[in-house]
Chains A and B, each alone.
Chain A
Amino acid sequence: MNDTRSPLQSFAIYLGAFLILVWSGGPFIWQFSTSFQLDKALTSGSPSLIPHPFTLEHYYNAFVEKELHRYVWNSLVVSLATTFLCLVVGSLGAFALSRLNVKGRFGILMVILSVSMFPQIALVGPLYLVATNLGLLDTYTALIITYLALGLPLVTWVLFGYFETLPREIDEAARMDGVSIPGLLWHIILPMSLPSLVTTGLLAFISAWNEFLFALAFTSNIDRQTIPVGIANFTNLYYVPWGDIAAASAVVTVPLIVLVLFFQRHIIEGLTQGGIKE
Chain B
Amino acid sequence: MTAAATLSGAGRPRRLGKALPSALWALILLTPAFVSLASVSFYPIVNGLYLSLTNTSLITQEQDFTGFANYAQLWGDAQFWNAWWHTMWFTFASTVLETVIGLGMALILFEAFKGRGLVRAAMLVPWAMPTVVTSKMFGWLFNGQNGIINYILLHAGLIDQNINWYGSADTAMTTIIIADVWKTTPFMALLLLTGLQTIPNSLVEAARMDGAKGWITFWYIRLPLLMPTLLIAGLFRALDAFRVFDLVYVLTGGGPADSTETLSTLSYKVLFSTLQFGYGSAVSTAMFITEGIIALVFVLFLVRQIRRAQ
Distance of A118 Cα from B121 Cα, bound (Å): 30
The majority secondary structure among interface residues of chain A is: helix
Asked if A275 is an interface residue, CB under 8 A from chain B, the answer is yes
Residue from B30, B187, B233 whose CB has the most chain A CB atoms within 10 Å = B30
Contacts known (A272-B191, A276-B1, A276-B236); A253 close to B129, Cβ less than 8 A: yes
Asked if A36 is an interface residue, CB under 8 A from chain B, the answer is no
> Contact between B112 and A2 (Cβ–Cβ < 8 Å)?
yes
> Contact between A125 and B122 (Cβ–Cβ < 8 Å)?
no
Within 8 A of A (CB), among B269-303: 271-272, 277, 280-281, 284-285, 287-288, 291, 295
Distance to closest chain A CB from B77 (angstroms): 17
Asked if A102 is an interface residue, CB under 8 A from chain B, the answer is yes
Give A184's nearest chain B residue, CB to CB: B16
Distance of A267 Cα from B246 Cα, bound (Å): 23
Number of interface residues of A (CB under 8 A): 109
> Contact between A17 and B48 (Cβ–Cβ < 8 Å)?
no
> Contact between B30 and A17 (Cβ–Cβ < 8 Å)?
no
> Contact between A149 and B40 (Cβ–Cβ < 8 Å)?
yes
> Contact between A124 and B268 (Cβ–Cβ < 8 Å)?
yes
Chain A 209-245, CB within 8 Å of chain B: the 1/0 string?
1101100110000000001110110100000101001
Distance to closest chain A CB from B247 (angstroms): 10
Distance to closest chain B CB from A274 (angstroms): 6
Chain A 102-119, CB within 8 Å of chain B: the 1/0 string?
100110110010010111
Distance to closest chain B CB from A114 (angstroms): 9
Contacts known (A146-B40, A161-B3, A181-B22); A210 close to B287, Cβ less than 8 A: no
Q: For this complex, into which size category does the number of interface residues on chain B fall? A: 35 or more
> Contact between A121 and B284 (Cβ–Cβ < 8 Å)?
yes
In the complex, which residues of chain B have a beta carbon less than 8 angstroms from the beta carbon of A146? Answer: 40
> Contact between A232 and B6 (Cβ–Cβ < 8 Å)?
no
The majority secondary structure among interface residues of chain B is: helix
Q: Which residues of A contact B (CB under 8 A)?
A: 1-2, 10, 13-14, 16-17, 20-21, 23-25, 27-28, 30-31, 34, 42-43, 45, 47, 88-90, 92-93, 95-102, 105-106, 108-109, 112, 115, 117-130, 145-146, 148-150, 152-153, 156-157, 161, 164, 168, 171-172, 175, 181-182, 184-185, 206, 209-210, 212-213, 216-217, 227-229, 231-232, 234, 240, 242, 245-246, 249, 252-253, 256-257, 259-261, 264, 267-268, 271-278
Q: Which residues of B contact A (CB under 8 A)?
A: 1-3, 6-7, 10-11, 13-17, 19, 21-23, 25-26, 29-30, 32-33, 36-37, 39-45, 47-48, 51, 104-105, 108-109, 111-113, 115-116, 118-133, 135-141, 143, 145-146, 148, 151, 182, 184-187, 189-191, 194, 232-233, 236-237, 239-240, 242-243, 245-246, 249-250, 263-264, 267-268, 271-272, 277, 280-281, 284-285, 287-288, 291, 295
